[in-house]
Amino acid sequence: MRGLLRALAVAAVGTGLVAGATQLPGRIDVSAPTVDGALAPARPVALTRGSAVCPGPQDLGVTGLPAATTARPRVDLLAAAPPAAALPAGTATAGVGTLAFGALPGRGALGSALSAGDHDRGSVLTAYVASPRSAVLDATGTLAPGVVALQRSLVNSGDGRGLVTTACGPAAGESWLLGGGAQPGRRERVVLTNPGPNPVTVDLSVLGTRGPVPSPNGRGVVVAPYGRTVVLLDAIAGQEASPVLHVVATGGEVAAVLDDTWLDGVIPRGGDDATPAAAPAREQVIPAFRVGGPATVRVAVPGADEAVVQTRVLTPTGPRPIPRDAVVRVAGQSSRDIDVSALPAGAYAVQVRADVPVVAAAMTERRRKASGPSDLAWATSTPAIGQLAGSVLRNQGTKGISASLDLAATGGPGSAVVTVVDTNGRVTTRTVAVPADAVAAVPLAGATSVWVHPAAGTVRAGVTSWKTDPLGVMISSTPLLDQPLTELPMQVREQQD
């Protein structure tokens, strides 16, 4: 999406140059200005336009299947810009900005827009989607830097019982999605959204426990301009127990999300959305991983070489080994699930290290009784936060949903400035210290949004949300990702003949 906006900006500049070519006294030089013959670097300015893509109702609009009644026919959309207190020094701007959700296909408006100034930047925009459409958040002006959006669904009973939270994000040319399984009744939907004006061709390939899964069904999937396509992963790798999906777009960018739902006969096992994991690297860290029953860590090796993979968990008091398979070998271009169910109940981060680049995610389940309903949550690996990350949480308390911010520090002690906006619009800020290779939790009771700015060390974060009812616990994990705050302006200067 950011690439699309840059392309549109360049096109707009080009159009202006053509239109005014006959009235300019000299030539236009779009190169950077020089100082004593050397190029002068452009100075970043506050971002004036931002966006995020939300997948919309994942059950609706599946390619090749007729429309059907679903237990999750509606998703709620939430968006907020950080309050001035959360912005790093030098990035706050004055003025008014807007937030608005639009639907894809069609770009029709969803709900009302929010226009806010400096005094109420923490206000939350809400909307919903109840049709097979994705949503795009558009942010302008002073509300663009650091803006975040979230999609959420809560179903208290029936086949679709579960809590699902999805961090809305940018479109990309390539992404890795880890989720799903081969159990009877397990169904994975891949939601592909194209926010751009040109058709995009997408190739979906799967790595499994025995290597790449051969299938022509994921090749050449076309996503229309401003469109959405939903593909069943079963059509590509229906029998794979540990699927890892590689999404590659040609001719543009797409936002990709993997929705994993599980109906075990007549018993709802819940579901969650897997958003793109961090790019392949020799170290992966998964924050916001709360164990309280069955739990697994999924690792895949994109390259051809075998990986020696070391896995441990980070606790409030430091690292500890996992109960078994702390060191395993994973063949090149294959995946493996590592069972960590024997860990004591609690809040963790997972640290995966390997001698070649890998991707990783983790799943946790909540089951009150083996024969009763349950829920599951996927936590993805994330990059370290560089400037500012956040999440919007409006209506947590009113729907009986609790939440916690989970911080993880690696490679040494870390700290983060945590800013919380509550339901009364009150903004509170405090610095949270995290020991080396450890985690720390911040309760979010009454919060409408939370923001994290790293103060020292390497810090990652996620939000865990849950609801407890007579049938058990429903749970979901949402990663916190760095949000853009500034941009480099295109420099245009007149050059005299």
Please give the pLDDT value at position 488.
80
Please give the pLDDT value at position 378.
98
pLDDT-based confidence at 7, cuts 50/70/90? Answer: very low
| 1 neighbors 53 (Cβ within 8 angstroms) | yes
- In the block, residue with structure tokens 């609690």: 346
Please give the pLDDT value at position 395.
60
Encoded tokens for 383 = 């990059």
Q: How, if at all, do strands 49-54 and 134-141 pair?
A: antiparallel
What are the residues facing 337 on neighbouring strands?
298
Please give the pLDDT value at position 182.
92
| 196 neighbors 225 (Cβ within 8 angstroms) | yes
Give this prediction's pTM.
0.88
pLDDT surpassing 50 at residue 199: yes
What are the residues facing 191 on neighbouring strands?
230, 257
Q: CA neighbours within 13 Å on the CB side: how many for 7?
A: 11
The residue ranges of every structural domain in the chain are 2-46, 49-487
pLDDT-based confidence at 272, cuts 50/70/90? Answer: very high
d(CA 123, CA 116): 8
- Give the mean pLDDT of 145-160: 93
What are the residues facing 226 on neighbouring strands?
none
Instruction: Give alpha helix (H) positions in 142-296.
Output: 234-237
d(CA 41, CA 388): 24
Residue range 429-462, pLDDT digits in tens: 999 999 999 999 999 999 999 999 999 999 999 9
Weakest mean pLDDT among 28-32, 52-56, 111-115 = 28-32
Q: What are phi and psi of 176, to 5 degrees?
A: -120, 130
pLDDT surpassing 70 at residue 24: no
d(CA 260, CA 34): 53
| 262 neighbors 230 (Cβ within 8 angstroms) | no
Q: In the 8-state DSSP scheme, what is residue 5?
A: H
Q: If we measure between CA atoms, which residue out of 407, 297, 283 comes closest to residue 362? A: 297
